[in-house]
Structure formats: C-alpha cells, structure tokens
Amino acid sequence: MAYLLGIDIGTSGTKTLVCDHDGNVIATAMAEHDISSPRPGWSEQDPSQWWQATCDATLAVIDKAGIDGQSVTAVGLSGQMHGSVFVADDETPLRPALLWNDQRTGEQCAEIERKAGGRKALIEMVGNPALTGFTAPKILWVRQHEPEVYEKTKHILLPKDYIRYCMTGEYATEVGDASGTLLLDVKQRKWNDKLIGLLGIDKALLPTCYESHVVSGKLHAKAAAKLGLKQGTPVVGGSGDQPAGAVGNGIVTTGIVSATLGTSGVVFAHADEPTYDPQGRVHTMCSAVQGKWCVFGCMLSAGGSFQWFRNQLGQAEVAAAKQQGVDPYELLIAEAEKAPAGCEGLYFLPYLTGERCPHPDPNARGGWIGLTARHDRSAMIRSLIEGVTYGMADALTIMREMDIAVDTVRLSGGGAKSAFWRQLQADVYGRRVATINSDEGPAYGVAILAGVGTGVWQSVPEACNAIIRETESLTPDAERSKRYGAWHKQYQRLYGALKSEFEAIAAEGND
C-alpha cells in the first residue's frame, strides 16, 4: 500500500494525518505547543516547538496507522497563516514568531497604506487592506523595534514554510499562504515588486513561490530520520490553513461555502475570478486550486471565545466531564440549550483578541451586553454561542453583497460536532448547511494536494469530487431564522455604538 501524509501546524498544536491513495483517512495524531503573550495584544510562539511537534506527531501517526514510513509517497504542509519566522542560514529562529492574532502592528499598517497611496490603492496591488495580523506589518515592526534581529535576518518564512525548510533545506512557499503576507500580487499570483520596493524590503528575504500542488522539495536524510520517513520523499507546496481546509471540505466550486469554527472562525468561498470587497472587510487570496481564487472572512475569537469560557468559567463542566469521560463542551452546550433562543435580549461580543472581519479593529473588546437579573448561566453560554454565530454570519452577509453565490454552507470544526450548534447555524445563516464525510480540515486538504502533485489525481477538483461527500443536511427553521435575522441586526449595531469606547478602554489597558 502507498500513503499520503498531511501536516498542519496549527496555533494550539500540530496535526498529522495519513490517508491512502483512495482518500481514506487511516489515522491522525496531534502534538501540542505553547503560546506566549508577552504583553496585551501580543501573540508569539517558538518555531522550534513546531518542528519538535511535527516530528512527534508524524512518528505517532505512522505508529497509529500501523504502516511503514517508507510507504508514504508524498507530504503536504499546511499551517496557521500570516506568522513570521526570522532566520539566518540555519534552523535556529532569531526570535519567536509573531502570530496571526498578534495585534501590535497598528502603526505599521498605517505606514503601509500611506506608502501604497491609500487603502484603495493597496487593495488594487495585493487584494487586501493592511491588517495587524498580516505578515508585512510584522516585518516592519521587527525592523523598527528589533533592528539587531532584522540585520541578521536572511530569510522570512511562514509557519509551514519554516517546517518545509527543516524538512528539505528549501526556502519556499506557495500562493495561498503567500497571499496572506500582504506582499503578493494576488491577481498575478507572484510577489508584488512595486509594494516590496515601496516598503524597502529586500525581496531576497522572501522565499520562492509555487502553486499549491507543485513539489517544492524533497526530504533530506536528517529530517527523514527524525520523521520516520524515506529520504527523497516529495513535499508539495501545500497551503495556509484556510485554503488547505477548503480543499479538505471540497470548497473548490462556486456556490458551496464553508464555515469553520476553530480558535478563529472562517467563512470561505471559492471564486473563479479575483473578486474584491472595496472596504476590505473580507480577504481575497489565491486558492489552493491552480489558477483560482477565494474570498474569506476571519473572526479572531470564535471557538476561542468558547474555549475561554470553558477555561475561566466552566470549571464545573470540566470536572464533571472528567468523571463522566465526555467532552466538557458537550456539557456546556447542554446547559446552553436550556436558555431560549435570543436569550431575552442578551448579546455576547466575541472580540476577545480584537477583531478582523468585518471590523479590522485591534482595539475591539468582548463582553456581554443586556444582562438583567433574569439571566442565568445558561443564557450566558447560549448568548456566547449565538454571538460567535452572528460574527460568522457577518462574513456571509458581505459575500452576498459581493454577489458571491451562497447556496450551501458546509460546516466543520467545533461548531459542526454539536447538533444544537449545527441547527443554530442553519437558522442564523438562513441557508442549507451540511456536514461531510471527513472533518479533518487542513491536514486532509494538504494530503490531497500531495496526491495531486505526485499524480494520484489529475487535479484538485477531480480529487475532491472523487472522495468528499455530504453526510447530513439541515435547512433553517423559517420562523427562528426570521427572528435571528432581527437579532443579528441588533448585534451588528452594538459594535458601532461601542467602537470609540473600545479605543479608550484599550488605551487604558496598554498604559
């Protein structure tokens, strides 16, 4: 037998997946890594932990699958987008990586838009406005605040591309992940020399850019030994976690959209042509399908808000779940189901780490609005789940304004595991929702890309059509959907009413 390996360097851990050449998932494994927040709004990780986690999770998944690592014919890489790894000429990072949810670069974002000639001109150059999570402002921040690090830097890599270097010795990336640096001409699918020059960045710092299915290197002997794989195994370009997850969900044709609730929440649509939101509220990037594009919105604390509640206020469920041998989220959702829809006017704003879509605002803050003496813990949990779902629906609203077809929403991530949350999404989105036969997301997507790059399938759409199918379909309840539509509009008004207060509160927190 021959197998494909997918590796996804996520925020909380690295996931590995083995599937056969028919797309059947044989085994998965996970190795966790730490996140550091040296100051409010800052988010960093040690890239060397990613490499150790990659080695550990790869050895584990080969063992769980009961296969010989020599039978893995190709590897695909995915990872959290936008992170910046500064290296010289070896595997040792010069500083911790600045992550996708790091909010320190507001000043640098303003500088980029100014040098580009304004937000509209920047969107025309690279398809997106300057946002604090993107890579380019991180580069400028390090250059300004840590000149000794920048002076030593020879290469700037995205998270999965640092792992590629550890595996192959190649400095390479691909168009999907590179779209999130703010330095790629998304329409032409190549580095934007004009903007790079305006920002004074040496293009030699940037890796070679490939299409997502193209073989970008081969495992060298040292890495092969650590991973339990064969020297010379091809490693394809792969993609950032969002384009890769779209492949894993079969979002490779128009009309089918995905809603993925992980730490962040992402609504993702395929596009045959590059289509831009003139306000820059959603992102336009290169798809992992050759010659195609995608539009997606990312809210920063979707499942992350629920995780925060579990960790800080859900100790009772965590303890009970341990005794019962169940997931504490199951108990939290069961508690939420006791509250009425709409929670009698209680709203949760899920801006725990600032926000990106539809409000690119690092100063946004979370909280409950509308608490009364009638509200209990069940209402607080349900309103949190509803607030996160309203945030996801914001992106769908923008896509419809852009005339992007939204016929079916395929659900994945934590929100797809609960029957309650699946139906809630159908009601809030006002669209048919569906689940599919695999919920492995980015790791599965890049395993598919590895197969396309090595001839198992002729194209990404061919592969997805052959191996991905819907397993459950839910339609919105007409009456609830109408009521949720009104509640969603109220939720949307709250940010505007509080925006200036968020700015003042954030300034206090940074004193």
**pLDDT, tens digit (0-9, with 9 covering 90-100), for 338-389:** 999 999 999 999 999 899 899 989 899 999 999 999 999 999 999 999 999 9
Q: Tell me the backbone φ, ψ of residue 40, rounded to 5 degrees.
A: -55, 130
Q: What is the pLDDT of residue 280?
A: 84
Beta partners for residue 355, in sequence order = 361
| Annotation says 394 is catalytic | no
User: Residue holding tokens 């703010």?
Assistant: 182
Binding-site entries for substrate: 81-82
pLDDT at 348: 98
Positions at the binding site = 81-82
Distances, alpha carbon 337 to alpha carbons 90, 378, 421, 433, 434, in Å: 52, 7, 10, 20, 21
Terminal Cα-to-Cα distance of the chain (whole angstroms): 60
Q: Residue 511: what pLDDT?
A: 58
303-404+478-509: CATH topology is Nucleotidyltransferase; domain 5 (3.30.420)
Active-site residue among 8, 161, 177, 241? 241
Q: What is the pLDDT of residue 462?
A: 96
Q: For residue 297, which amino acid is it?
A: G
Confidence (pLDDT) at 241: 92
Rounded Cα distance between 73 and 275, Å, is: 36
What does the alpha-carbon distance between residue 10 and residue 263 come to, in Å, rounded to a whole number? 10
> If you ran DSSP here, which 8-state letter would residue 70 be given?
G
Q: Alpha-carbon distance 440 to 17, whole Å?
A: 8
CA atoms of 454 and 240, how far apart (whole Å): 20
Domain limits, CATH 3.30.420.40, in the chain? 3-249, 303-404+478-509
Which residues in the chain land under pLDDT 70? 509-511
Instruction: Give the bridge partners for 406, in sequence order.
Output: 255
| Residues 179 and 212 sit within 8 Å (Cβ to Cβ) | no
CA atoms within 13 A on the CB side of 122: 25
In this structure, are residues 399 and 269 in contact, taking their beta carbons and an 8 Å threshold? Answer: yes
The angle that helices 377-401 and 303-313 make with each other, rounded to 10 degrees, is 170
| CA separation for the pair 173, 133 (Å, rounded) | 18
Cβ-based neighbour number of residue 223 at 10 Å: 25
- Assign 329 to helix, strand or coil: helix
Distance in angstroms (rounded) separating the CA atoms of residues 273 and 256: 15
Amino acid identity, position 280: G
Q: The whole model's pTM is what?
A: 0.87
Coil, helix or strand for 27?
strand
Give, in words, the CATH class of 3-249: alpha beta
Rounded to 10 degrees, what is the CA torsion of 150, 156, 162, 167?
-100
Nearest Cα to Cα of residue 460 among 153, 237, 206, 140: 237
Burial environment of residue 371 by CB neighbours within 10 A (0 to 12, 13 to 18, 19 or more): middle
Q: What is the C-alpha separation between 50 and 358, in angstroms, rounded?
A: 30
Find, among 288, 276, 485, the residue nearest to 399 by Cα.
Answer: 276
